[in-house]
Copies of this chain bind each other. A is one copy, B any other.
Amino acid sequence: MTGPGLRARKKQDTRAALAAATLELAAEHGLAAVTVEQIAARAGVSYRTFFNYFSGKEEALLRPGGAGPGTFGPRLLGQDPALPVLAAARAALHEELAVLESDRAAWQLRLTLIADDEALLPRLVELGATGEREMTAAVAARTGQDAERDLYPALVGAVLGCAVRVTLARWHRLEGRAPLPRLLDEALDALAAGLPDPASPS
């Protein structure tokens, strides 16, 4: 009974080493100036092996745990079915984002790199596209609609993705001085209220 098995453990180690090397090197020189060769060297692995774990530097930086199955769907479906969709999504998103706060320093650093590199934000969206599809599917399941044909699930999925993105950007700009859950609630409140014109510049 070796549990996960030696093999799987080494694999996870390598993945973590690659992700860490990417984060360090990107913090030092900016992601654009870092080559996969350098990352692999720092992680003690060959160039070729890097691509056994990640499809590119961006993925290594933004999705350090690898692809994985995604957790939003189950979480959304686990909420009280009596809740309106937006309220259920809010609860599910709070659970999702809790991960980020547990590894705050690293994620703040990643957000810094995203803000700097300017070409990474779309990449984040790209990776977030998976999450968006997942949200769309989960919303469709909850409302009994068709994820492909109906407007509502696609729109809610996309908009929730936006809300998360904007929230993370604000969290970063405030350097974590404001709690992430509160920022998320502000964004979702504005959405649920129909994005009314703001009172006036405070």
Interface residue ranges, A against B (CB under 8 Å): 84-86, 121-123, 125-126, 129, 143-146, 148-152, 154-156, 158-159, 161-163, 165-166, 169-170, 173, 183, 186-187, 190-198, 200-201
| Contact assessment for A163 and B155 in the assembled complex, using a CB-CB cutoff below 8 Å | yes
| Contact assessment for B151 and A187 in the assembled complex, using a CB-CB cutoff below 8 Å | yes
Per the bound structure, the CA–CA distance linking A126 and B120 in Å amounts to 9
What are 27 A-B pairs with beta-carbon distances under 8 A? A84-B196, A84-B197, A85-B195, A121-B129, A126-B126, A143-B197, A143-B198, A144-B200, A145-B198, A148-B173, A150-B201, A151-B187, A152-B198, A154-B169, A155-B162, A155-B163, A155-B166, A155-B187, A155-B191, A156-B195, A158-B162, A159-B159, A162-B162, A191-B195, A192-B195, A193-B194, A194-B194
Per the bound structure, the CA–CA distance linking A155 and B187 in Å amounts to 7
| Contact assessment for A155 and B201 in the assembled complex, using a CB-CB cutoff below 8 Å | no
